[in-house]
Structure 1
Amino acid sequence: MAVPVDPVTLDLDAPSRAMPKPAPVAPAVPPESPLAMPVQDLTRWSDADAHPVPGRRSPWGARAFVFGGGALLTAYGAVQMYEVVSVAGSTTWLQWLLLALFALNFSWIALAFTSGLLGFLALLRRRRPEVQAGPLTTRTAVVMPVYNEATARTFAAVEAIRDSIEATGEGAAFDYWILSDSTQADAWIAEERAYLALRARLGEGARLYYRHRQKNHHRKAGNIADFVTRWGGHYDHMLVLDADSLMSGDCVLTLARAMEADPDSGIIQSLPLIINRNTLFARVQQFAARIYGPVIATGLALWSGRDGNYWGHNAIIRTRAFADHCGLPDLSGKPPFGGHVLSHDFVEAALIRRAGWSVYMLPELQGSYEESPPSLIDVAIRDRRWAQGNLQHSRIIGTAGLKLASRQHFATGIAGYLASPLWAAQLVVGIALALQTAYIRPEYFSTEFRLYPVWPRFDPVRALQLFGITMAILLAPKLFGLILGLLDREVRRASGGGVRLVLSALIETLLSALIAPIAMLVQSGSVIQILLRRDAGWNPQRRDDGSIPLADIVRRHRWHTILGLVAGISAFAIATSLFLWMSPTILGLVLAIPISWASGQLFLGLALKRAGLLMTPEEREPPAIATAAKAIEARNAALGYDDADGLRALHADPDLQAGHLVFLPPAERRSRGAPQADHVMAQAKVVEAETIDEAAAWLNAKEKMVLLHDRALLDRLARLGG
């Protein structure tokens, strides 16, 4: 292939063809209004830099109830376990290790119990958020970051949210931004096609903007930061969405009014409910989030108070406060513990709270929704990234000036992933003790002088009692949610009645119990990989319903199955009682492959739906915003945005070509004499090609992205034959 020396001359030898004159295209973004976003120092902090806030009382009573009650429960559980393992009057080092692991694991479920109990007691009173009404006087940007997402879905969500906000009569206070970080040519061109079509439908005054970054520096955090530093000055607030978010106009309006009414608020988080899910696994998650989620979220909101957390989406943020205090530094070293901050939302909440701004949740605010991954494997892929982000917080938890509650949020996130390897270790130590009791001779010569051997023995009655207490504490938050659902007439009826609601809760509990040991090993493997310094990367999340090839399922779960078989045979050989005690864990692992396969099956989820099981109120009577988004998505899908080849679509539509050129940022300067390999190859292939089909077939993914950023290459592409 001949490579021309000067890209400017690319069009001289191009085959000529009649090119329709495109219509004028308006820019996709308004003039910039920059905000400085300084990188924060994690090692130093002065309260003189904080936003002055009048004295507010922290919820010390709620915190004492949750953490004091959790500590007392943990102490009680540890004493009971000590009585179980020290029945012979002495304790071996293995028994001490078992006791320590049990206490750590028990403390985790004890805190969840006390926090859930607090939420349950509060929800019995049915308090609703009170936000004063009145016209808005501030401006809010509704921003949706996207990364190689299904365009039909994301643009349907933006349009539905906009229509719902417009219906409130306060639409003039909101602008809408699609912030693209997409790295695939087809996704990028699909976004531009959808944007141009939507803007044309909405007409003048749409207040709809689109920006694509050439490099997705720092991923989602960098995407938001780029928006803030370039256009943040236009807006008092920004409402941050995910690609699967939906929020009703009333919900958005309530958040904006809450921000206006509370000049000290920095972030106000809503509680998104899961909707639109149909696979077995996703429906289980959807049911659990709807019935149990409010209990957990309300308890968390009460003890956190104004020292709350941020989950990265479906929340409103004070733009200038965010710019002033949430510039994230790169951590020293390489990933997974170094580099840019992966789970940025927790850190942004902690930094904006450090500066005096309040962060809190409105857990009973209705109209906030999201979706969830369709299968167990999809959750595991997402969870691997979350595990890395949460464990990376071990580098941030000591940041100067953080509030104690912010450090607790970091600690809870870290503990959530360390709990799995600790649980696995507890099981291993328990098996070792049982094996020692059954087959190994007593230790006649211990370090302490004794006239009798040390036999590792257990008190079976106390062990059974402790097991029952542990299960009760573990399952109590589910019971709290179920009770509230049964007491709420609307929820009870929408869930199919009291009997079906109870049966659905039993199904969810059973499936969760079977999935738990699989998740334990998956998370334990993730933690080990992170400790071995293996980076997770960042792949786009699969959001559609759909199954995974059986070969992939077998490959991912074969070792879980083998381990379950080995553990089952070993436990049965040691003692029947040990086998029965471990049977839930063994069964989940042995059935890992069929469970994972079933998790992603639509027909199983739909069969339960037809039977009226795992139903939620939002499924029985879909929210208007969800119905509207689904109809718009069907219309978008019929237009084929996500099915078309990006280069061919661009080549065939002069208006799209004109829009793409207008939307392109200024070209980055390249050093002379240092050509980039992808650019050289893209240039050579486009010059060599005679038709668009040849160019589309020859260019690889990176070369297509290079072409789409190069005006000279785009001009040559436009002149190719059809």
Structure 2
Amino acid sequence: MDTVADQTGQHSEPPVAEAMQGPPAMPPEDRLAMPVQSLTTWSRRERRSWIHPALHHGAWPARFFVFGGMLALTVFGGWEMYKVVDVGGVTALEWALVTLFVLNFSWIALAFTAGIAGFVYLLFHRRRSQPLPKELTARTAVLMPIYNEAPSRVFAAMQAIIESVEATGLGAAFHYFLVSDTTDPDIWIAEERAFLAIRERMGPDIAIWYRHRPRNTNRKAGNIGDWVTRWGGAYDHMLVLDADSLMTGAAIVQLAAAMERDPDAGIIQTLPLIINRNTLFARIQQFAARVYGPVIAEGLSLWMGHDGNYWGHNAIIRTRAFAAHCGLPDLSGKPPFGGHILSHDFVEAALVRRAGYAVYMLNDITGSYEESPPSLIDLSARDRRWCQGNLQHMRVISAKGFHPCTRQHFANGIFSYLASPLWLLQLLVGLTLALQAHFIRPEYFTDEFSLFPAWPLFDAERALALFAGTMGILLAPKLFGMIIILLDGPSRRACGGGIRLFLSVLFEMILSALLAPVMMLIQSGSVFEILLGRDSGWKPQRRDDGSIPLGDIVRRHRSHTILGAFAGVAAYVMSPYLFAWMSPTILGLLLAIPLSWASGQLSIGMWLRRRGFLATPEETNPPEVALRANGLSEELAAEGEDEDDALRVLYEDEAFRSLHETMLPAPAGRERGKFEPERVMAQAKIAEAGTIEEACRWLTAKERFVALHDRSLIAMLSHLHAPAAKAE
């Protein structure tokens, strides 16, 4: 805001908007107890009984088909692999190869059988839009946790959601909370200004609240837990979003109605679709999620029934059930395997289900959206954190009282990351066998009597058939998804028509195959880092479509390229057939740098978009809530408040400074003789500064953060002199 400085360096203020003199930032507290749960002791007496038991059965036929089919396929595949190597006896290395193959094959066999179940269901059960309820009797809090996100984007999304809910006529049942764990002082102050502005835009009839935590203890789980224990008692349900979430009002209202209809429901999850993505890599993810995702999600939903999982956002939760049963314990030891539980959502679903509440997915509810990382390197950064969280579940999977399906969810998450090092080990064992066959002479006369030499031989014809069958099982869920889209006229046309859809699927398969060995090495590296005790930390995600500097890409992938070149030369020297068999892996590693560079390029993604490739129905016909959010985001970003210096804002705007102080928590007591280094340095620098310019230059980000939480330091800042005006 513009100010007028007087001759002493102090300043007068412009008129203050009436909305800034409105209600406090948060409603009165209504506390809930959230006791820490035990993973080692539990009694069945603690589990509640179903109120409507008939609603929560019926998944056993799907489970029998999915897991029985997976077991049958795995046994068959393992037997075929055994016969491949059982030519003249099986060596120890060949047994290792068979074991690794069975482990990896079981993983893709499960996805295949679940894909068949989802495919068959979608063939005969077309999704239909659900009617909106006429009324809602319960109150729901819509929570958006934020952590160092662009305020213009976050508050634009929240406003679009609110407007969409209000359009249903049932907006009175919802209150909206932006719960911040932001650590960047400039972003934090921009959040507060954006909060005051959205209140002014939406008017006094919409309940919008904002809370910032000075310490982000236990990350997102701690953020949600803090809200539940302090304000959760006033709300029957909470609908948890992510910072990149978007939901239509109809979807939110239908979720609330579903929770009201089912008193046994603890968590009801939606299937978020990816939208707003434009780089090559992000469009690949967006396309794959839209075309293949519904088949996979439907298969998953069928076998898990009401013993499901929770993916942390775009889901509605019964607040008191969550408070009573989801207090997460800290695991003994240090990170990465100890400390607070990183992937908290799986564990929260497990605890809610253990307590006797249903957890399930409603795929018929459309209008749930999210975004995805813009490049391969961005995905690997997020994936590193997910990897640590899922491997940490190895210490949780055996907890007392968990449902068998819950343990399967944990096992799926754990194996999704162990699969990469297992695949890598399988390749290394195969290469070792080929190396042995090429360079080492067979020992025909051993110390032990045998009619045949102990030498690795292979049934080439059977191996080729097994490879083809494995590839078919691996790719089948993608083909199932394409068929479902082809049979749906409006969706097919929105994807560019049958030919473009087929070419897009083919392109996605080829690119995914080339990126697969790179991701295998990245994930294997993450697993080995975690086993060595390295913590992932918690860094904000990049949401934009900006590309990564080429130098960073080269440094990230040069080892992959060198390994690809070495493997290619070694395979060709040993056998042209081995080289041909490994060529997809070798090519993917050799192209790691250009593929990673291309993955983050906006120009390539937009070129494909203009030609109708990798199109999705939500891209061709964008939902109104997305158009509104995107438009608002551009308008708010153009105002420039995201980039303003926090110290200067508080210095120049006395009215906002006063409101900022009202939003601060009560000052915590300090033990005599103990000082916070950042506060001491901040106080010394502010006392030394002659002008606000000097304070802005001298204070570090941590010192700014501490100063903006301290009313006495804020007062010191406000009394600094303004910079001298430049002579014309």
Pair in the same fold by TM > 0.5: yes
Cα distance, 1:205 vs. partner?
A: 2.2
* Residue aligned with 1:496, SS: coil
Distance in 2 between residues matched to 1:352 and 1:75, nearest whole Å: 35
Gaps of 5+ in 2: 1-7, 723-728
Q: Structure 1, residues 77-105: CA drift from partner, whole Å, max 9, x if none?
A: 111111111122x1111111100000000
Q: Structure 1, residues 291-331: CA drift from partner, whole Å, max 9, x if none?
A: 00000000000000000000000000000000000000000
Answer whether contact 2:309 2:360 (CA < 8 A) is retained: yes
Answer whether contact 1:24 1:658 (CA < 8 A) is retained: no
Cα distance, 1:128 vs. partner?
A: 3.6
* Residue aligned with 1:268, SS: strand
Task: Call closer, same or farther: CA 1:647–1:161 in 2, change over 3 Å.
Answer: same
Asked if 1:306 is matched to 2:303, the reply is: no
Cα distance, 1:685 vs. partner?
A: 0.6
Asked if 1:319 is matched to 2:312, the reply is: no
Residue 171 of structure 1 is matched in structure 2 by: 171
Query: Match of 2:98, as an amino acid?
Result: L
* Residue aligned with 1:642, SS: helix
Query: Match of 1:39, as an amino acid?
Result: V
For normalisation by structure 2, the TM-score amounts to 0.96
Cα distance, 1:337 vs. partner?
A: 0.3
Residue 51 of structure 1 is matched in structure 2 by: 48
Q: Structure 1, residues 503-559: CA drift from partner, whole Å, max 9, x if none?
A: 000010010000000000000000000000100001001110010011110111010
Residue 342 of structure 1 is matched in structure 2 by: 342
Distance in 1 between residues matched to 2:329 and 2:473, nearest whole Å: 40
Worse overlay, 634-643 or 291-300: 634-643
Asked if 1:86 is matched to 2:94, the reply is: no
Residue 611 of structure 1 is matched in structure 2 by: 611
Cα distance, 1:26 vs. partner?
A: 3.1
Answer whether contact 1:142 1:176 (CA < 8 A) is retained: yes
Query: Match of 2:404, as an amino acid?
Result: L
Cα distance, 1:58 vs. partner?
A: 4.5
Answer whether contact 2:161 2:625 (CA < 8 A) is retained: yes
Residue 675 of structure 2 is matched in structure 1 by: 675
Distance in 2 between residues matched to 1:70 and 1:683, nearest whole Å: 65
Distance in 2 between residues matched to 1:587 and 1:569, nearest whole Å: 12
Worse overlay, 681-690 or 472-481: 681-690
Note the 1:243-262 alignment, pairs <5 A.
243-262=243-262
Residue 42 of structure 1 is matched in structure 2 by: 39
Cα distance, 1:447 vs. partner?
A: 6.8
Distance in 2 between residues matched to 1:525 and 1:226, nearest whole Å: 35
Query: Match of 1:243, as an amino acid?
Result: A
Once the two structures are aligned, what percentage of the paired residues are identical?
Answer: 62
Task: Call closer, same or farther: CA 1:230–1:298 in 2, change over 3 Å.
Answer: same
Note the 1:350-389 alignment, pairs <5 A.
350-389=350-389
Worse overlay, 522-531 or 130-139: 130-139
* Residue aligned with 2:239, SS: strand
Cα distance, 1:639 vs. partner?
A: 1.5
Query: Match of 1:37, as an amino acid?
Result: M
Answer whether contact 2:132 2:253 (CA < 8 A) is retained: no
Query: Match of 1:142, as an amino acid?
Result: V
Answer whether contact 2:73 2:109 (CA < 8 A) is retained: yes
Task: Call closer, same or farther: CA 1:631–1:179 in 2, change over 3 Å.
Answer: same
Q: Structure 1, residues 260-283: CA drift from partner, whole Å, max 9, x if none?
A: 000100000000000000000000
Distance in 1 between residues matched to 2:316 and 2:325, nearest whole Å: 16
* Residue aligned with 2:474, SS: helix
Distance in 2 between residues matched to 1:721 and 1:613, nearest whole Å: 58
Answer whether contact 1:25 1:662 (CA < 8 A) is retained: no
Note the 1:214-293 alignment, pairs <5 A.
214-293=214-293
Answer whether contact 1:58 1:306 (CA < 8 A) is retained: no
Note the 1:81-230 alignment, pairs <5 A.
81-88=81-88, 90-128=89-127, 133-230=133-230
Query: Match of 2:64, as an amino acid?
Result: A
Query: Match of 1:303, as an amino acid?
Result: W
Distance in 1 between residues matched to 2:470 and 2:641, nearest whole Å: 52
* Residue aligned with 2:500, SS: helix
Cα distance, 1:226 vs. partner?
A: 0.2
Answer whether contact 2:25 2:211 (CA < 8 A) is retained: yes
Cα distance, 1:19 vs. partner?
A: 4.3
Note the 1:393-432 alignment, pairs <5 A.
393-432=393-432
Cα distance, 1:16 vs. partner?
A: 6.3
Answer whether contact 2:341 2:392 (CA < 8 A) is retained: yes
Worse overlay, 293-302 or 120-129: 120-129
Answer whether contact 1:142 1:239 (CA < 8 A) is retained: yes
Residue 716 of structure 1 is matched in structure 2 by: 716
Asked if 1:560 is matched to 2:560, the reply is: yes
Distance in 1 between residues matched to 2:251 and 2:651, nearest whole Å: 42
* Residue aligned with 2:641, SS: coil
Worse overlay, 195-204 or 330-339: 195-204
Task: Call closer, same or farther: CA 1:670–1:607 in 2, change over 3 Å.
Answer: same
* Residue aligned with 1:359, SS: strand
Answer whether contact 1:115 1:300 (CA < 8 A) is retained: yes
Cα distance, 1:206 vs. partner?
A: 2.1
* Residue aligned with 1:267, SS: strand
Cα distance, 1:448 vs. partner?
A: 4.3
Residue 17 of structure 1 is matched in structure 2 by: 10
Cα distance, 1:459 vs. partner?
A: 1.1
Cα distance, 1:131 vs. partner?
A: 7.1
Of 21, 24, 28, the residue aligned with 2:25 is 28
Cα distance, 1:657 vs. partner?
A: 0.7
- Tell me how large the CA RMSD over aligned residues is: 1.4
Distance in 2 between residues matched to 1:313 and 1:124, nearest whole Å: 28
Distance in 1 between residues matched to 2:364 and 2:103, nearest whole Å: 32
Answer whether contact 2:57 2:305 (CA < 8 A) is retained: no
Query: Match of 1:272, as an amino acid?
Result: P
Residue 3 of structure 2 is matched in structure 1 by: none
Worse overlay, 250-259 or 711-720: 711-720
Distance in 2 between residues matched to 1:27 and 1:133, nearest whole Å: 32
* Residue aligned with 2:643, SS: coil
Distance in 1 between residues matched to 2:626 and 2:451, nearest whole Å: 74
* Residue aligned with 1:124, SS: helix
Query: Match of 2:364, as an amino acid?
Result: E
Distance in 1 between residues matched to 2:30 and 2:259, nearest whole Å: 21
Cα distance, 1:583 vs. partner?
A: 0.3
* Residue aligned with 2:541, SS: coil
For normalisation by structure 1, the TM-score amounts to 0.96
Answer whether contact 2:150 2:187 (CA < 8 A) is retained: yes
Asked if 1:628 is matched to 2:628, the reply is: yes
Note the 1:482-497 alignment, pairs <5 A.
482-497=482-497
Cα distance, 1:364 vs. partner?
A: 2.8
Task: Call closer, same or farther: CA 1:137–1:109 in 2, change over 3 Å.
Answer: same
* Residue aligned with 2:671, SS: coil
Residue 645 of structure 2 is matched in structure 1 by: 645
Q: Structure 1, residues 644-696: CA drift from partner, whole Å, max 9, x if none?
A: 11211222222221211110000111112212211110001111112211111
Answer whether contact 1:495 1:617 (CA < 8 A) is retained: yes
Answer whether contact 2:330 2:339 (CA < 8 A) is retained: yes
Distance in 2 between residues matched to 1:235 and 1:622, nearest whole Å: 32
Worse overlay, 456-465 or 119-128: 119-128
Query: Match of 1:114, as an amino acid?
Result: T
Answer whether contact 1:278 1:545 (CA < 8 A) is retained: yes
Cα distance, 1:641 vs. partner?
A: 2.3
Cα distance, 1:48 vs. partner?
A: 1.9
Note the 1:447-458 alignment, pairs <5 A.
448-458=448-458
Answer whether contact 2:36 2:328 (CA < 8 A) is retained: yes
Distance in 2 between residues matched to 1:285 and 1:47, nearest whole Å: 42
Gaps of 5+ in 1: 1-14
Cα distance, 1:363 vs. partner?
A: 1.7
Distance in 2 between residues matched to 1:218 and 1:33, nearest whole Å: 22
Distance in 2 between residues matched to 1:139 and 1:578, nearest whole Å: 63
Residue 5 of structure 2 is matched in structure 1 by: none
Residue 6 of structure 1 is matched in structure 2 by: none
* Residue aligned with 1:287, SS: helix
Query: Match of 2:506, as an amino acid?
Result: L
Answer whether contact 1:274 1:286 (CA < 8 A) is retained: yes
Asked if 1:519 is matched to 2:516, the reply is: no
